[in-house]
Chain A
Amino acid sequence: MSDKKLRIMVAKPGLDGHDRGARVLARCFRDAGFEVIYTGCHQTPEQIAASAIQEDVDVVGLSCLSGAHRYLFPAVAKLLQEKQAGDITVIGGGIIPEQDFQPLYDSGIKALFTPGATLDSIVDWVRTNIKPRA
């Protein structure tokens, strides 16, 4: 068994500046023992996909509270697939209405966390569902 640490990128796509959740989670993942890369706000889907590949992460966690998740989340997932990095798991969070869940899952987003989700529940999901990529 490898004891390789899980590498997770917390990313803020689009023009949204509501970064409280993203920053709290970045710190929480760090405290949970993951290697964390936080992109800061205002990343394009192209920038996020490129950095995820370059940083060789296992997971990308996208955060969006502006309503633009319907465009931005699938865009990141699609770019990763196109760049043969579809094995990087993409998850998301923010203000996401329930009716958007299924279309986002269909586009390749593996899990969505919305207000009220505890930090522990998010960390547990990541630990249970994601292993460091080979």
Chain B
Amino acid sequence: MLFIKEVLDSSSKMRKKWEDEVKKSVAKWADQKPRWSTVSDLEIKRLYTPEDIKEMDFEKDIGYPGQYPFLRGNQVTGYRGKYWTFRMFSGMGSAKDTNQRWHMLLKEGQTGLSTAFDFPTLMGYDTDSPKARGECGKCGVAIDTLEDFLQLVDGIPMDKVTTSMTINPPATILWAMYCAAAEIKGISLSKIGGTIQNDMLKEFIAQKTLMCPPEASVKLISDTVEFGTKHVPKWNTISISGYHIREAGSTAVQELAFTLRDGMEYVEDVIKRKGLDVDSFAPRLSFFFNSHIDFFEEIAKLRAARRIWAKAMRERYKSKDERSWWMRFHTQTAGCSLTAQQPYNNVVRTATEALAAVLGGTQSLHTNSLDEVLCLPSDHAVQIALRTQQIIAEETGAANTIDPLAGSYFIEALTNEMEQQAWDYIHKIDEMGGMVAAIEKGFPQLEIADAAYKYQQQIDAGEKIMIGINKYVSEDKSPIPFLEIDDKVETEQIGRLSAVRKKRDNKAVKKSLDDIKAACKKGENVMPYCIEAVKNLASVQEICDVYREVFGEYRDPGLY
């Protein structure tokens, strides 16, 4: 118990008095709206008191940093030893263009790299595929073969800087390229660190970069987990992501629940399929959350996430290693909270969201640029976004002490409530037979569709406010510089790809693709074969076509 009986008794007495005063006051000055709720529509009370958290047990529910249940963070020293990693997601145009942006960001004080690929790369198509027309380099960097990849990491110290790659269906291939590039530079696989997103479940649920059906997709992911466990021990082989679930319109609780249940699905598959001990791989699982505009809801969500994962790992999977209980996560501020109208206001939104992520204990952070709702970020906009993190870290004092909001009646009550609602969802998905089964039923997809539709209706009705959209609308536009990707990027990239196809040893390519096919059919781990294939300059699509042929292609069922 957090409070002795005397405290609760006096709180109860004082609350009654306060409630009487509230009634009188409201009779004179009515509340501005009848119902106050979070951006996710979770109702919030006017005041929280010791009575709201009277059931909590300090040791069991709160505790200390670096100790179970890790509500207060994994790191014993908080941010004093090291701030979170300043990791700006970037990628545009050609590998050369992106490499230049990376060097600029490292020079400006960024501490980790994060790669955005263009849609053809994300979906496993080469730039010269008819399906890729018009998309090359638009939403990220175009990578077709190892040659492009070597250009991407040119001059990057791969043994010192960790690199995250947002890549899903072709994750095995882009990771194979990273491994091959390290080997070419004479860096051993045991030295490289980074993350591949490699989380297909949330693709079916939300982001929709799709290739093979769920079952086969999870198999490929388990291959990477096994390969990483044995050969690339510093690599995070999955970044279990709530970000896209939230961007697709979910509530904060749905983001929390679906993401953690996805994580559990992967744990169960690796144990079952690969026979690995949970503690051999679980410490390398990482997470990725959204930080939306509702400040306290986000802080509570991140705190709840750590506690749910610790409990699940220890109790549900009987894990013994503390490092398996740690939920390590990256956070990105919410793209969907930004507005094209009055775009400079986005700097304020992003700063607020970034502060919430820091107070929630994130270990890595991307801050969106003010222009990201319109285009890929310009150099100047990216610099402001990076500086936002640096100001929070080094000027505001937010990093001085660990989990500074712990013990707040409101924060603890909200954390508990969100955890409880998340467990309700998790148990419901368990009853459906797990996340793959739930996805096949369309359950998480439709829950999110409901929430997204409801939110849009609330915006249209003015029940939820977005400044510049449905309140304080102003015609006064401050034009912002606009980064455009030239259509000639596509022509040049196709030129590079066809030159590679001409000069490479096409017999060796064919053999390595046959080897991957055989491995897929036998259920062998594909990773060693992928590394061999990319070294022979097989393209992303050539390998993905093998996956499509063996495992079949998955089409978006178009649920709404």
Instruction: Spot the interface stretch: B69-77, B128-136, B176-184, B216-224.
Output: B128-136
B460, A23: Cβ atoms closer than 8 Å: no
The interface size bin for chain A is 20 to 34
B134, A41: Cβ atoms closer than 8 Å: no
A28 to B132, CA, bound (A): 30
Q: Which A residues touch B556, using CB under 8 A?
A: 12, 17, 19, 40-42
Partner of A20, one of B120, B134, B248: B248
Q: Which B residues touch A70, using CB under 8 A?
A: 134
The interface size bin for chain B is 35 or more
Instruction: Spot the interface stretch: A76-84, A101-109, A110-118.
Output: A110-118
CB distance from A37 to the nearest CB of B (A): 9
Q: Provide the main secondary structure of the chain B interface.
A: loop
Partner of A95, one of B120, B210, B374, B469: B374
A115, B138: Cβ atoms closer than 8 Å: no
A115, B340: Cβ atoms closer than 8 Å: yes
A64 to B485, CA, bound (A): 16
B560, A97: Cβ atoms closer than 8 Å: no
B456 interface contact, C-beta 8 A: yes
A95 to B119, CA, bound (A): 15
B283 interface contact, C-beta 8 A: no
Closest to B375 in A: A97
Contact with A along B113-136 (1 / 0, CB 8 A): 000000110110100001111110
A40, B453: Cβ atoms closer than 8 Å: no
B138, A23: Cβ atoms closer than 8 Å: no
B58 interface contact, C-beta 8 A: no
- B→A interface (CB under 8 Å): 119-120, 122-123, 125, 130-135, 138-139, 203, 207-210, 247-249, 336, 339-341, 373-375, 449, 452-453, 456-457, 459-460, 468-469, 482, 485, 555-560
A71 to B135, CA, bound (A): 9
The 6 A-B residue pairs with the shortest CB-CB distance in the complex, in nearest-first order: A40-B558, A71-B134, A17-B208, A40-B556, A15-B119, A67-B138
Q: Which B residues touch A40, using CB under 8 A?
A: 555-558
A18 to B208, CA, bound (A): 8
Contact with B along A112-132 (1 / 0, CB 8 A): 001110111000000000000
10 pairs, A vs B, C-beta closer than 8 Å:
A15-B125, A15-B132, A17-B207, A20-B249, A22-B560, A40-B557, A41-B208, A66-B138, A67-B135, A119-B460
B340, A116: Cβ atoms closer than 8 Å: yes
A24, B452: Cβ atoms closer than 8 Å: yes
Q: Which B residues touch A38, using CB under 8 A?
A: 558, 560
A54 to B457, CA, bound (A): 32
A72, B134: Cβ atoms closer than 8 Å: yes
CB distance from A114 to the nearest CB of B (A): 7
Q: Which B residues touch A118, using CB under 8 A?
A: 459-460
Apart from A68-B135, A68-B138: 4 A-B pairs, beta carbons within 8 A? A40-B557, A40-B558, A41-B556, A118-B459
CB distance from B526 to the nearest CB of A (A): 23
B131, A15: Cβ atoms closer than 8 Å: yes
Partner of B449, one of A12, A27, A41, A71: A27
Q: Which B residues touch A68, using CB under 8 A?
A: 119, 133-135, 138
A28 to B122, CA, bound (A): 30
A16 interface contact, C-beta 8 A: yes
CB distance from B463 to the nearest CB of A (A): 13
CB distance from A93 to the nearest CB of B (A): 12
B131, A95: Cβ atoms closer than 8 Å: no
B119, A24: Cβ atoms closer than 8 Å: no
A70 to B487, CA, bound (A): 10
Closest to B490 in A: A71
A126 to B142, CA, bound (A): 37
Closest to B137 in A: A67
A52 interface contact, C-beta 8 A: no
A15 to B136, CA, bound (A): 11
A14 interface contact, C-beta 8 A: yes
B558, A16: Cβ atoms closer than 8 Å: no
Closest to B203 in A: A17
Q: Which B residues touch A119, using CB under 8 A?
A: 456-457, 460
A19 to B341, CA, bound (A): 21
Q: Which A residues touch B120, using CB under 8 A?
A: 15
A40 to B374, CA, bound (A): 23
From B123, B374, B558, name the one whose CB has the most chain A CB atoms within 10 angstroms.
Answer: B558
Q: Which B residues touch A18, using CB under 8 A?
A: 208, 247
Partner of B119, one of A44, A66, A71, A116: A66
Closest to A26 in B: B560
CB distance from B243 to the nearest CB of A (A): 13
CB distance from A27 to the nearest CB of B (A): 5
A20, B485: Cβ atoms closer than 8 Å: no
Q: Which B residues touch A23, using CB under 8 A?
A: 449, 452-453, 559-560
Partner of B339, one of A42, A67, A72, A115: A115
Q: Which A residues touch B373, using CB under 8 A?
A: 95, 115
